[in-house]
Structure 1
Amino acid sequence: MKRLLPVLGAIFLPLLCLAQIKYENISSEKLGESRQIKIQLPRNYEENTDKTYPVLLVLDGDYLFEPVAGMVDYYSYWEDIPEMIVVGVNQDGIRMEDTKYSKQDFLPVDKGAKFFEFLGMELLAHIDQKYRTGNFKIIMGHDFTSNFINYYLLKENPIFRGYINLSPDLAPGMADHIVNSLSKSETRSWYYMATSDEDIPTLKKAILAFNNQLKGIDNKNLHYKFEEFENTSHYTLVGKAIPSAIADIFSIYRPISQKDFNETLLQTSISPTQFLTEKYQSIEDLYGVRKKIRLNDFLAVYQAIEKTRNWEEFKPLYKMAFDNFPGTMLGTFFEARYEEETGNPKRAMRIYQNAYGQQKIAFIDTDFMLAKADAIKKDFGY
């Protein structure tokens, strides 16, 4: 593990320099001591004063925080995931005490019980009070701490919606408890688990058996993903699992993919604009993030309409474009295409001409719009 840290640090340090990293000591009444935490705020946190952010809580923050924070900053830069507040809890030398459970009922006991309350009642309350947090929260752990994060699932109203389990060292009976909880969950939950071909044999055996149980859960509210990485150890699997887990939890958030385009938008039975509307409504409903529709997603829907010749879809699309990109030529172009393909070429010509003075966007500029108007004038002799 110690050999892995310099490599991960070299990869992610340049990214972390751009984000805001804070170090705090939290005085805990539950623990009777202070605990050090690391916090990464999004790049433009101070400027976006009205924006709230999902929270990713990382246990074993002494070695997991940097790779997690780096990947969150990288993925959010490319808009594959939302910007998040990443919180790491340092546990170097005390993780076994923090994750202690009873040998009788296998639930947190002694320092483990106090640490459980510290995270859920003190640390998250501190983060919520001090920073602009949203309701969507994820927790991550590795082996012993991975087992520990699952205790929050056993609560009646879990405070976390996503659970990232990196080679969990499960307590006796924990698998059955988790399966029972996830089977009955009435709220949308994300559960990720990873192992590797070179993982610790006893852990891997239990994880594979647990995976078979989880695969059998029939609950539409559960999104579950399992991965077994090749040529990786108990420690190096972390480097592959972190980006995969984060990307999977936020799969709905990412831009329209080529697969979405080919398998969904090009199907004539599908309304491309309805797909676009529902995608962004789901982002808000699931993650608590209100996001402006991306320009590339508008252009993907535009291309789908052109290919399927479903011209009526331009009408809702141009209204959405006016709302999301006011003052630009985007909505004007879509409106003109609607009129042009639904039997109103003269009106389309005038709309193209009216784009003069509006802001260019993507490939749509004044020359492009006037050329479209001139083509209509030439074809119809106006």
Structure 2
Amino acid sequence: MKALIYAILLLFTFQFTQAQVQYETIDSQKLNDIRQIKVQLPRGYDEDTNKNYPLIVVFDGDYMFEIVAGNVDYYSYWEDMPEAIVVGVNQSKTRSEDTNYSEQSSMPIDTGADFFEFVGMELLPYIEKTYRTENFNVAIGHGETANFINSFLFKASPLFQAYISISPDLATNMKTYLPERLKSFENKLFYYLATSTNDVKFIKEKTEALNLNLTALDNKNVLYNFDVFEGPSHYALPAHAVPKALESIFLVYQPISKKEYRETILKLEGSPVTYLLEKYQTIEDLFGIKKPILVNDFKAIAAAINKSEQYNYYEELGKLARKQYPETMLGNYYMARFYEETNDPKKAMKTYQSAYMLEEIAGLSKDLMLEKSDAIKADFGY
């Protein structure tokens, strides 16, 4: 009986700690029809009413939504990407009509043009009015809808800032029109493209041709990634491509990795603290999110300072840590390290002592502060 009660309580708790998924309908004048959508809100969406979130719109939402929503929830839980609102558009009965395009222009036409207007003039405004969104939108499509999402790039002000195109069934001239459009693109844009060795032959051939053209682009504003997966079929490919796509788009958002530490930070000629500030400023510029600097990222920069023996950077790091975590001993610890390594032991001792009054954090304890202070006192006879 106790085991049964525990299982019920665990299930109850689990339901209320997961991301929230709800089903809605939009009465569309553009489509003259009712369109079903699925909406996943981040965990804790209702707790912080001042927080806004990037928006991820999933076309072919009838089968693609769960793949994307699950990955978004997982990656955001581990802080490898920001929490995001995921919206899936059900197209199980209307896919061909929704993605109808002109053979001449490769742009949406007739029912495809209606759906294009539905997305821009009804769906996105509804989501932005109903939910708290940031100004960073991601479009995800597969097959026909992967071709369709390219159409938004030809607007003067594209509605999406990131595009995940999985095994696109490309329109006749899209492989030349799209690179031509992106060649002079003036805003930051993420574009991810994927196929597989077992993809539909003509789709794979067109996708690889598009990749050649996109790879030849010389535009730093376009952040492009391409993957060819070994093995999956056209229909299995999204399960492989979605996590890789999210990783590539939100790479800068992720905590400092061993690779980033080893290949970038340790090779810096300038200040690693400046690198840290620029990393987080880039996150704010790209995604509209003011992310607090992670404690582990502070530790990575401190490790680089220690390894390179450029101890003067501890002062800059200490001031930043005091600003970010004022109630903790993190900033005082780095400041004390600065004084200790730049031949001012008396200030180092006093700074360690003052850290004792602050909150412990990241393995820094009151005992450690006293040990550091007492060691200096013993060495210099203060």
TM-score range, shorter chain: over 0.9
For the Cα contact (< 8 Å) 1:60–1:92, is it kept in 2?
A: yes
Matched letter for residue 226 of structure 2: F
Asked if the contact 2:103/2:172 (under 8 Å) is kept, the reply is no
Flag the 1:173–1:218 CA change in 2: closer, same or farther, 3 A: same
Structure 1 residue aligned with 2:214 = 214
Aligned residue for 1:82?
Answer: 82
Contact kept? 1:16, 1:70, Cα under 8 Å: no
Q: Indicate the SS of the match to 2:46.
A: coil
Question: How many pairs are equivalent?
Answer: 369
Aligned residue number for residue 305 of structure 1: 305
Tell me the SS of whatever aligns to 2:267: coil
Is 2:144 the counterpart of 1:130? no
Q: TM-score, normalised by structure 1?
A: 0.94
Work out the CA distance in 1 between the residues paired with 2:225 and 2:168.
14
How far apart, CA to CA, are the structure 2 residues paired with 1:107 and 1:71? 31
C-alpha contact 1:154 1:177 (8 A) present in aligned 2: no
Measure how far apart 1:16 and its partner are.
Answer: 10
Pairwise CA distance, 1:15? 9.3
Q: Deviations over 1:309-332 (max 9, x none)?
A: 111111111111011111101011
**Residues 82-231 of structure 1: matches in 2 within 5 Å?**
82-231=82-231
Deviations 1:126-153 (A, max 9, x none): 0111111011111010010000000001
- Contact (CA 8 Å) 1:56, 1:138: kept in 2 or not? yes
- Whole-angstrom CA distance in 1 between matches of 2:174 and 2:66: 29
| Per-residue CA distance 1:242-273 (angstroms, 9 max, x = gap) | 00001100111101111111122222513110
In structure 2, the partner of 1:10 is: none
Shift of 1:112: 0.8
Superposed, 1:32-71 pairs within 5 Å as 32-71=32-71
- Tell me, in whole angstroms, the C-alpha distance in 2 between the residues paired with 1:81 and 1:63: 23
Residues 16, 73 of structure 1: CA spacing in aligned structure 2 closer, same or farther, 3 A cutoff? farther
Distance in 2, Cα, partners of 1:223 & 1:370: 49
Q: What letter matches 1:18 in structure 2?
A: Q
Q: Which runs of 5+ in 2 are unaligned?
A: 1-13
Letter in 1 for 2:159: I
Counterparts of 1:219 and 1:256, CA distance in 2: 26
Q: Does structure 1 conserve the Cα–Cα contact (< 8 Å) formed by 2:54 and 2:136?
A: yes
Q: TM-score scaled to structure 2, two decimals?
A: 0.94
Which residue of structure 1 aligns with residue 378 of structure 2?
A: 378
Deviation at residue 111 of structure 1 after TM alignment: 1.3
Amino acid at match of 1:186: E
CA distance in 2, matches of 1:150, 1:122: 19
Aligned to 1:278: 278
Partner of 1:311: helix, strand, or coil?
coil
Q: Secondary structure at the match of 1:163?
A: strand
* 1:28-60 deviation per Cα after TM superposition (whole angstroms, max 9, x unaligned): 111111111011111011111111111110000
* 2:82–2:253 Cα contact (<8 Å) kept: yes
Conserved? CA contact 1:80–1:255, under 8 Å: yes
Aligned-partner SS, 1:266: helix
Distance 1:17 1:231, change over 3 A: farther
Deviations 1:50-80 (A, max 9, x none): 1111111000000000010000000001001
Q: Is the CA contact (8 Å cut-off) linking 1:265 and 1:271 kept in structure 2?
A: no
SS of the residue aligned with 1:361?
Answer: coil
- Alpha carbons of structure 1 residues 226 and 268: separation in structure 2 relative to 1, 3 Å: closer
Name the structure 1 match of 2:364: 364
For residues 101-131 of structure 1, the C-alpha deviation after alignment (integer angstroms, 9 at most, x for no partner) is 1234332122111000000111000011111
Q: 3-state SS of the aligned residue for 2:191?
A: strand
How far is the alpha carbon of 1:17 from its aligned partner? 7.1
Shift of the 268–36 alpha-carbon distance from structure 1 to 2, 3 Å rule, reads: closer
1:3 maps to which residue?
A: none
User: Secondary structure, in 3 states, of the residue corresponding to 2:138?
Assistant: strand
AA partner of residue 305 (structure 2) = I
- Give the aligned CA root-mean-square deviation in angstroms: 1.3
Letter paired with 1:282: T
- CA deviation string 1:4-27 (max 9, x = no partner): xxxxxxxxxx89971011111011
Query: Are the equivalent residues in 2 in contact too, given 1:138–1:162 (CA < 8 A)?
Result: yes
